[in-house]
Amino acid sequence: MEGSRTISNELEHPTVGSVVMGWYGPGLWFEDEGQGDAVVLMPGWGGSIVDLDGVRRALRGGFRVIAVDLPGSGRSQPQPRAYPPTYYVDDAHLLLALLDDLGVGAAHLVGFSDGGEEALLMARLRPARALSVLTWGAAGSIVATPEMLRALRVLIDEPVPELLPLAAYLAEKYGADGARTMARTWSAAMAAIVEAGGDISRSGAADITCPALLITGTHDPVCPPDLVREMAAAIPRGRFLEAPDAGHPVHVSHAAWLIPRIVSWLGDH
């Protein structure tokens, strides 16, 4: 299936107009709908584009929205995925190849958490492909304590209180064994990245030449405001915005605050 698309006319969610749906390459699931400037919309690790339905509904009337499940998450393969330390770069190249296949010359890159990290990395790797970048819960680098990495490694069997919702979500969506493999290998990948200095796109922030808006919650334990503010300042046309009193999944707790800002940003750029 490498380099090919399969298209289904069956719609899984309410839509306006038609949706092109299918897999690209090694099982990358995408849904392509609407007209106008292209927006690539990417959820976080373990998440699904269904989680961003509110954002999609707000955008589909004025943009071409290409929603993509990251490899190993949502409907994308492989499942369960064993995450290598190189997975951010590997996935960024695959996502850029999808845009090539779809004939998209340039797009707004919008993502949450790992989806946001991919957006920043794609803009760094191929600056001409990015009309703008908008992320929440992404910082261009990983900062994690040994305690945090251990909590991720044993997420399914020994979840700490603050990670109970994530553990339950993953176990329900991927099964306990699949979720266990995901968490264990993802934690190992994070540890390797941290040991190597934590860089994802931070060292190349100056290469991100498009306008960029980086958002994070006041209480985000993964991407605290100071870390995200620093990344935004390193991007030549970067801006930082704090979601008051929010945690990591701003689109869940503060959707009414976040979605109008996404629509406004994309409309202005």
DSSP character at residue 5: B
- The predicted pLDDT at position 96 comes to 98
- The predicted pLDDT at position 18 comes to 76
Burial code (b: 16+ CB inside 10 Å, e: under 16) for 229-242 equals bbbbebbeebebbb
Q: Which amino acid is at 189?
A: A
Question: For residue range 188-239, what is the model confidence (pLDDT) as tens digits?
Answer: 999 999 999 999 999 999 999 999 999 999 999 999 999 999 999 999 999 9
At a CB cut-off of 8 Å and minimum separation 6, what does 190 contact? 142, 144, 149, 152
How many contiguous H segments (helices) and E segments (strands) does the chain have? 8, 8
Burial code (b: 16+ CB inside 10 Å, e: under 16) for 142-175 equals bebeeebbebbbbbbeebeeebeebbeebbebbe
What is the rounded distance in angstroms from the CA atom of residue 136 to the CA atom of residue 222? 11
Least Cα distance to 112 among 246, 267, 269, 264 occurs for: 246
Question: For residue range 86-125, what is the model confidence (pLDDT) as tens digits?
Answer: 999 999 999 999 999 999 999 999 999 999 999 999 999 9
Average pLDDT over residues 3-13: 37
Hey, what long-range contacts does 261-265 have (CB within 8 A, 24 or more apart)? 261/213, 261/215, 262/55, 262/58, 262/59, 262/110, 262/134, 263/58, 263/59, 265/132, 265/134, 265/213
Reading the block at residue 62, the tokens are 């004025």
What is the rounded distance in angstroms from the CA atom of residue 226 to the CA atom of residue 247? 14
What is the rounded distance in angstroms from the CA atom of residue 53 to the CA atom of residue 72? 19
Question: For residue range 161-190, what is the model confidence (pLDDT) as tens digits?
Answer: 989 999 999 999 999 999 999 999 999 999
pTM for this predicted structure? 0.92
Query: How many C-beta atoms lie closer than 10 Å to residue 54's C-beta?
Result: 15
What is the rounded distance in angstroms from the CA atom of residue 166 to the CA atom of residue 89? 24
